[in-house]
Structure 1
Amino acid sequence: MTASTPTSSSVAQVGNKALAFPARVIQKVIGDRLSGHLTFTDPRDPSIGWNLYVGNGQLHYANSTVGHQERFNYLCQRYCPQLSTTLATDETEYQYLCRLWQQGQLTLPQLRKLLFLFSQEALVHIFAMPQATLQMEQVAGLEHLVLCVPIKETLSQLRQAITQAVQVRTYLNSPLQRLVLTTTERVPADLWPMDYGRNIAAALPQLLEHKPVLYEVATQLRMEAIATAQLLQPALVNGLIGQDPYTGPTSDTRPIVACIDDSRTIQRNVRLILETCGYRVLGLMQPTHALSALNDTKPNLVLMDISMPEMDGYELCRQLRQTEALKDVPVVMLTGRDGLVDRIRARMVGATDYLTKPFTPQELLSLAERFTQTAAMESHS
Structure 2
Amino acid sequence: MKTVASPYKALRELAARDLTGSLTIYDPQVEGAGWCVYLGGQRLYYASSIAGQRERLTSILSRLRPDLEWPSLGALESEPAWLREWWQRQALPLGELRQVVTRLSQEALVQAVAIPKAPMHFQRNVQPDPILITPPWQDLLAAVRQQVYGWQLVRGQGLSPLSRLYLDMGQVGAFCDFWEQIQGTPEYEKFWGRQTLATWIQMFGQKLCVYEFASRVRVAPLELATRVRGLVGAGTLVSLPFAAPVAAPEHPPQPKPVIACIDDSKAVQRQVQMTLELEGYDIVAITEPARALTTLVRRRPEVILLDINMPDIDGYELCRMLRQSRQLQDVPIVMLTGRDGLIDRLRAQLVGANSYLTKPFAPEQLTQAVQKLRPSPSANGISS
TM-score range, shorter chain: 0.5 to 0.7
Distance 1:39 1:70 in 2: 19
Q: Deviations over 1:176-215 (max 9, x none)?
A: 0111112343323436633226767543212223210001
Return closer, same or farther for 1:145/1:54 CA change in 2, 3 Å cut-off: same
Which of 1 and 2 has greater Rg? 2
Match of 1:147 among 133, 155, 168: 133
- Deviation string, structure 1 residues 110-142 (Cα, Å, up to 9, x no partner): 111001001111111111101111111113341
60 and 207 in structure 1: CA distance in 2 versus 1, 3 angstrom threshold: same
The answer (yes or no) to whether the contact 2:80–2:130 under 8 Å persists in 1 is no
Q: Under a length normalisation based on structure 1, what TM-score does the superposition of the two structures give?
A: 0.58
Cα distance change on mapping 1:164 and 1:225 into 2, 3 Å: same
Aligned residue number for residue 52 of structure 1: 37
Give 1:93 deviation, angstroms: 3.4
Question: 5+ residue gaps in structure 1?
Answer: 5-16, 253-381
Q: Does 1:228 align with 2:224?
A: yes
Q: Which residue of 2 aligns with 1:168?
A: 154
- Structure 1 partner of 2:378: none
Identical-pair percentage:
27
AA at the equivalent of 2:4 = L
- Does the CA-based 8 Å contact 2:26-2:118 persist in structure 1? yes
Query: Structure 1 103/139 Cα, relative in aligned 2: closer, same or farther at 3 Å?
Result: farther
- After TM superposition, the structure 1 = structure 2 runs for residues 1-381 of structure 1, keeping only pairs within 5 Å, are 4=1, 18-81=3-66, 82-184=68-170, 185-186=172-173, 187-190=175-178, 193-195=182-184, 196=188, 201-250=197-246
Q: Give the AA of the match of 1:116.
A: T
Describe the shift of the 1:127–1:150 C-alpha distance in structure 2 as closer, same or farther (beyond 3 A): same
- C-alpha deviation, 1:51, in angstroms: 0.6
Q: Could you state the TM-score of these two structures normalised by the residue count of structure 2?
A: 0.58
Per-residue CA deviations over 1:339-360 (Å, capped at 9, x if unaligned) read: xxxxxxxxxxxxxxxxxxxxxx
- Distance in 2 of aligned mates of 1:174 and 1:188: 25
Measured against aligned partners, the alpha-carbon deviations of 1:1-36 in whole angstroms (never above 9, x if no partner) come to xxx5xxxxxxxxxxxx73121010011122222210
Alpha carbons 2:151, 2:160 under 8 Å: kept: no
Q: Which digits, 9 at most, give the CA deviation of each residue in 1:44-72, with x for residues without a partner?
A: 33410101011132001111001111111
The 3-state SS of whatever aligns with 1:188 is: helix
Instruction: For residue 19 of structure 1, give the secondary structure of its aligned residue in structure 2.
Output: strand
Q: Deviations over 1:295-345 (max 9, x none)?
A: xxxxxxxxxxxxxxxxxxxxxxxxxxxxxxxxxxxxxxxxxxxxxxxxxxx
- The two structures, once aligned, show a CA RMSD in angstroms of 2.2
- 2:29/2:158 contact within 8 Å kept: no
Cα deviation, 1:235-287, whole Å, max 9, x if unaligned, reads 211112112211111379xxxxxxxxxxxxxxxxxxxxxxxxxxxxxxxxxxx
Contact 1:76 1:85 in 2 (8 A): no
